[in-house]
Amino acid sequence: MTGIISYGTYVPQYRIKISEIAGAWQKDTQEITSALRIVEKSVPNNDEDAITMGIEAGMEALRAGNIDPKQIQSVFVGSESHPYTVNPSSSTIAEILGIGPDYFAADLEFACKAATAGVGVTCGLLDSNKIDYGLVIGSDTAQAKPSDVIEFTAASASVALLLGKSSEKTIADVKEMSSFTSDTPDFWRRDGSRFPSHAGRFTGEPAYFHHILHEAKKLLLESKLAPTDFAYCVFHMPNGKFPQVIAKKLGFTQEQLKPSLTVESIGNPYSAAALLGLSAVLDIAKPKEKIFFVSYGSGAGSDGFIFETTKQITKWQKLHTPFAKKVKKKEYIGYVEYLKKMKNL
Amino acid sequence: MNNVVSAWRKTKTLPAELGKKGRMLVWTRLFIAPKGYERDVPYVVAIVDFGEGDRQTLQVVDCDFDKLHIGQEVITTIRRIGTVDAADIINYGVKVKPL
Amino acid sequence: MKTNIAILGSATTKFGEHWKLSLLDLAHLAADEALQDAELTTEDIDAVFVSNMLSGRLQHQDHLGAAVVAELGIKKPGLKVEGACASGGLAVHTAIQSLLAGTYETVLVIGVEKMTDFEASEISAALMGAGAEEERAAGLTFPGLYALMAKAHMQQYGTTREHMANVAVKNHYHASLNKKAQFPYEVSLEKVLASAKLTDPLTLLDSSPITDGAAALILRKVKQNSPKSNKKTVFITASSVAMDTLRLAERDSFAELAATQVAAKKAFAQAGIEHGDVAIMEVHDCFTIAEIMAMEDLGFCKKGEGGDYILSGETRLGGKRPVNTSGGLKACGHPVGATGVKQIVEIRDQLLGRGGEKQVKGAKVGLTQNVGGIGATVVVHILQL
């Protein structure tokens, strides 16, 4: 069955506290942290971008999966911060990882769901027996205009999923997948613009909540499963509050949601956000557990997946450094250093 | 203008440099940069011994300068090299970070 | 083989910022003065060797030999010799070989560099042309490369910041007595130590400056047993070149210039003299640590003791064997292509007793050491009265 064989994650080591950003603009930290439920976010070094971070996560996924890079037949990189407008991140990352040249590659863009779109496409290639192994990377150095409210959450990280269909190798199988899409421009960035724009409160109810809710209900209906059948649920995390609201609305408990809330420690790394939540869950899941997963990308759409872990996951976890341990290696920086690293100064 | 062909040739050498571990022999920190590196200041450069006669001069990133020591263990990481004009090809190359 | 190359004339321009003069103006000035000094005219010159590093990159002049002979109105061969900061020494070496081969009888060597038209970051990047591709990619500069060597020297031999700063203090003192120096004034140890950090551990005052300047020599092969004239003549009795790896990382030791050791050994053998005979030296102090290593690698003190040797005062004017009486690259200035030629001009002046306020009494034998990059090229010359 098609599933995840391995995954890798990368979080740059720098952090800025929300209080530090709030201080720069003389905003009330308490008010912001209670609204966004986030205390700090990850910041890339000034020589990092979606490509370099993608290489780090990709390398970890390939090594942990013990797959010869030459066996990879598709590479999709989802990002809203591809270093080039024209010239793919996917071919650069793949080449440096030793993949190719016999593979299918494309860069994807669909705001925060670009990488989960890649998971959907890769599942299609695997299910139709076109490929045996595919690599999907979500990688973002999310930009935010200084003083914009999303400056508190826009973060950087990358996740790589190695997908395949060898049942001896998968650590979590894809049991169900579907999508929900509509034309809803709640967040955008025009060609040539350095920073994205967003539609304020319009990003909430008609955008994030509407799409995730419909996709989640469809997934439950199609799978004939109830929230209680799942050990974990994972939703896109634009901040710490939204996934809690949607989980509650759908009937999931805080216990089911909590392990996936990577947003609380590093913020929202856009196309890596939901998959990073999934990886944090896979870090601790036991065999034969079901995971409910719905991403969200502005513009707007949601990709839903139901995963079920296999018995291979236990052995795999022993060889893998979990997200919880990785994020502990961090160095705090001030607002000026943050602007320097984000190339905004 | 950054030369695209030499950048392309350089990229072909990178797969062999991935995830290599080595030790720092000697290092310095630069406060004045040549053209193209002004945004990195201050930055650390070290001679790193990867064993078997493989020694390279590389930038050390994500490090606390005051904690570096002789024999410091490092691992390679692929990063952007310097800053180029917006119309130029981006240079990617090898740097190291402490393990 | 002991060479018998006579220096008939020599000159340098003032070193410093020449806002009103171009690269060719500087070359012309030095050439004219050297011809005057030799009491010769351009008609007497059979070939011109131009030493320069950066004319292609900075002045977009990649046909410098032709440009210089045209500027001087000499209708004879003109060629550029390039070896980074050792271009000067290398040009003199090349000129000598042409004389020894009998191709030419009298040649003009002009070292010239025009640097101050440009931003420091531009010059810093241009000078890294003398380094290796990997070092450029790492963002290294020459202050960075010499800082790595200084760190290695400190680690291995316990050399201190004070040892290094002391070199700058001494050379600034010498420069204070040299009207042609870029910085003809003294600096205190405290000032050197407190000056702006370029790298760890080198400061601005550990470093040679960005300089415009030119130097010229007129050389002729003199027949054996030629009748002695009344005029005192300085001969170049040894000219040796040695090379090392371009990349610092490849070397066995980062705290020495092996090429200096090899070039010195060859030069002493050629001239048939010993260390004790040398009364005066101009060495390549592009950074203070470089002079410390030069003392060791040339063999004037034990390896690792260069700092203390200089501190002893032996190499200060008035000491037993003054080093860099011109002020060195550090304080006289470092117009890259001119430096190796200027070193020879300074030693000749000293041997002829026309060193002015900085005159070393009774010097008969002098040595120059000119380094390209981090010692991938080293040229040593020995001059004798």
- Residues of chain B in contact with residue A55, where contact means CB-CB under 8 angstroms, are 18, 78
Collect all residues of chain A within an 8 Å Cβ-Cβ radius of residue B79.
Answer: 45, 47-48, 52
Given the residues A198, A210, A236, A320, the one annotated as active site: A236
B39 touches chain C (CB under 8 A): no
B81 touches chain C (CB under 8 A): yes
What is the nearest CA distance from B7 to chain C, expressed in angstroms? Answer: 11
Question: How many angstroms separate the CA atoms of A322 and C358, rounded?
Answer: 70
3-class state of residue C121 by DSSP: helix
Residue range B23-75, pLDDT digits in tens: 999 999 999 999 899 999 999 999 999 999 999 999 999 999 999 999 999 99
Instruction: Report the residue from C128, C196, C199 with minimal CB separation from B28.
Output: C199
Q: Which chains touch C (3 or more CB pairs under 8 A)?
A: B
Q: Which residues of C touch B57 (CB under 8 A)?
A: 132, 134-135, 138, 140, 148, 247-249
Based on the residue annotation, tell me whether A214 is a catalytic residue of this protein. Answer: no
CA pair distance A89, A70, nearest whole angstrom: 18
The pLDDT value given to residue A167: 82
A83-112 residue pLDDT tens: 999 999 999 999 999 999 999 999 999 999
Contacts of B8 (CB under 8 A, 6+ apart): none
Mean pLDDT of C133-152: 96
Would you call B56 an interface residue with chain C, using a CB distance cutoff of 8 Å? yes
CA torsion, ordered C260, C262, C263, C264, to nearest 10 deg: 80
Query: What distance separates the 2 farthest-apart alpha carbons in chain A?
Result: 57
C253 in contact with B at a CB cutoff of 8 Å? no
Q: Is the peptide bond before C294 cis (omega within 30 degrees of 0)?
A: no
Nearest to A99 by CA among A133, A141, A142, A127: A133
In angstroms, rounded to a whole number, what is the distance separating the alpha carbons of residues C213 and C202? Answer: 25
Distance from CA of B31 to the nearest CA of C (A): 5
Q: How much is the pLDDT for A166?
A: 84
Count chain A–chain B contacts defined by CB atoms under 8 A. Answer: 53
Residue from A20, A56, A60, A80 carrying the catalytic annotation: A80
Please compute the mean of the pLDDT values over residues C249-260 and round it to a whole number: 97
Nearest CB partner across the interface for C143, out of B27, B32, B43: B32
At residue C230 the predicted structure's pLDDT band, cuts being 50, 70 and 90, is low
Q: Are C201 and C211 in contact (CB under 8 A)?
A: no
Nearest-CA distance from B52 to chain A in Å? Answer: 23
Residue C224: which pLDDT band, with cuts at 50, 70 and 90? low
CA-nearest residue of chain B to C155? Answer: B26
Per-residue pLDDT for C14 more than 90?
yes
Is the pLDDT at C269 greater than 70? The verdict is yes
Question: Six-digit token pair at B96?
Answer: 């190291």
Mean of pLDDT over chain C: 96
Contact list in C for residue B34 (CB cut-off 8 A) is: 121, 124-125, 128, 136, 139, 141
> ipTM of this predicted complex?
0.96
The pLDDT assigned to C3 comes to 65
Torsion of CA C277, C283, C288, C292, to 10 degrees: -40
| Residue closest to C307 by CA, chosen among C322, C321, C291, C331 | C291
pTM: 0.94
- pLDDT-derived band at C231, boundaries 50, 70, 90: confident
Active site residue C93: no
pLDDT single digits (tens) C184-209: 999 999 999 999 999 999 999 999 99
Q: What is the pLDDT along chain A (345 residues), one digit of tens a residue?
A: 899 999 999 999 999 999 999 999 999 999 999 999 999 999 999 999 999 999 999 999 999 999 999 999 999 999 999 999 999 999 999 999 999 999 999 999 999 999 999 999 999 999 999 999 999 999 999 999 999 999 999 999 999 999 999 888 999 999 999 999 999 999 999 988 999 999 988 999 999 999 999 999 999 999 999 999 999 999 999 999 999 999 999 999 999 999 999 999 999 999 999 999 999 999 999 999 999 999 999 999 999 999 999 999 999 999 899 999 999 999 999 999 999 999 888
**Candidate list C153, C172, C174, C334, residue with the active-site label:** C334
Other CB atoms within a 10 A radius of the CB of residue B78 amount to 28
In chain A, which residue's Cα lies nearest the Cα of B84? Answer: A47
B62 touches chain C (CB under 8 A): no
List the strands of the sheet with C280-282, edge to edge: C78-81, C47-51, C106-113, C213-221, C5-12, C234-243, C377-384, C365-372, C280-282
Model pLDDT for residues C291-326, shown as the tens digit of each residue: 999 999 999 999 999 999 999 999 999 999 999 999
Taking all residues of chain A, what is their mean pLDDT, rounded to a whole number?
96
Is C137's CB within 8 Å of B55's CB? no
Q: Does C224 touch chain B (CB under 8 A)?
A: no
Q: Cβ contact (<8 Å) for C139 and B30?
A: yes
